[in-house]
Amino acid sequence: MAGKRRATLVVAVPAAVLATLSTQTWATGRANDVLSHGPTSVTGTEAMPGVIGLAIVAVAALLAIMTGGRVIRAVSAVLLVLAALGALALVLLVALRPTQVVADAVARALARTTAPGATGSPTVMVWLAFVAAVALVAGAALAASWSRGWGGLSARYERGARPAAGPRGQVRSTWDDLTEGRDPTAADRPPDD
């Protein structure tokens, strides 16, 4: 059974690398527009702002897997894999459609509703981000499969036994015992000899 530390490495490291790379230029090009004469550079966060969000969701899902109970682990494992796949899809869209990314960036800069004609090419950074996203997907799949054998937090974080119910089914508390004159710690004392 693989440990939680290994799962942290295979998910958190690619997520951090992907988030860092998204601040770099992913596409460059020129727009065929009278108002935009110079070259245009588009960072990953400008092209696909959801990449950082999905990387954060993946790390949060990993934390839920490592600390939650059986049902939370199962739901979080699915969320982890879906977030990693979503990040990969967004990076791939930029890598395969740099011309559209440049045109959209110029349209936003000029406050237009339609994108002008443009030329564009992907940078090395978008391909590095693609590798990081693939590593994130692989790490998410591994962490999800490893999590089946994990337990939640230690027993000290688990909910204690439910207090006894009163005459009408309402839950009784220690305060109720004190109000009625009973000592709630009497059961915890050793017998007198």
In sign, the C-alpha dihedral spanning 48, 110, 97, 41 is negative
Per-residue model confidence as pLDDT tens for the chain (193 residues)? 467 888 889 999 999 999 999 999 988 888 776 566 678 888 888 888 899 999 999 999 999 888 888 888 889 999 999 999 999 999 999 999 888 888 878 777 777 665 667 778 889 999 999 999 999 999 999 998 888 877 665 545 555 555 555 566 666 677 777 788 887 777 666 666 5
What DSSP designation does 158 have? S
Residue appearing with tokens 């899902």: 61
CA dihedral 96, 121, 12, 23 (to 10 degrees): -140
| Amino acid symbol at 41 | S
Whether this model's pTM surpasses 0.75: no
The tokens describing 26, both together, are 């992913």
The contacts of residue 106 (CB under 8 Å, 6+ apart) are 31, 33, 36, 40, 115, 116, 118
Please report the pLDDT score of residue 99 as a whole number. 83
Q: How do residues 95-142 score in pLDDT, each as one tens digit?
A: 998 888 888 787 777 776 656 677 788 899 999 999 999 999 999 999
> What are the DSSP calls for 25-55, one per residue?
EEEEEEE-BTTB-SEEEEEHHHH-THHHHHH
Q: Backbone phi, then psi, for 90, in 5-degree steps?
A: -65, -40
Helix (H, G, I), strand (E, B) or coil at 69: coil
Helix (H, G, I), strand (E, B) or coil at 119: strand
Please report the pLDDT score of residue 161 as a whole number. 57
Is residue 93 a contact partner of residue 133, using CB atoms and an 8 Å limit?
no
User: Which residue ranges make up each domain of the chain?
Assistant: 4-156
Q: Backbone phi, then psi, for 33, in 5-degree steps?
A: -140, 145
Q: Backbone phi, then psi, for 68, in 5-degree steps?
A: -85, 175
Residue 111 falls in which region: left (phi positive, over 0), alpha (psi -120 to 50) or beta: left
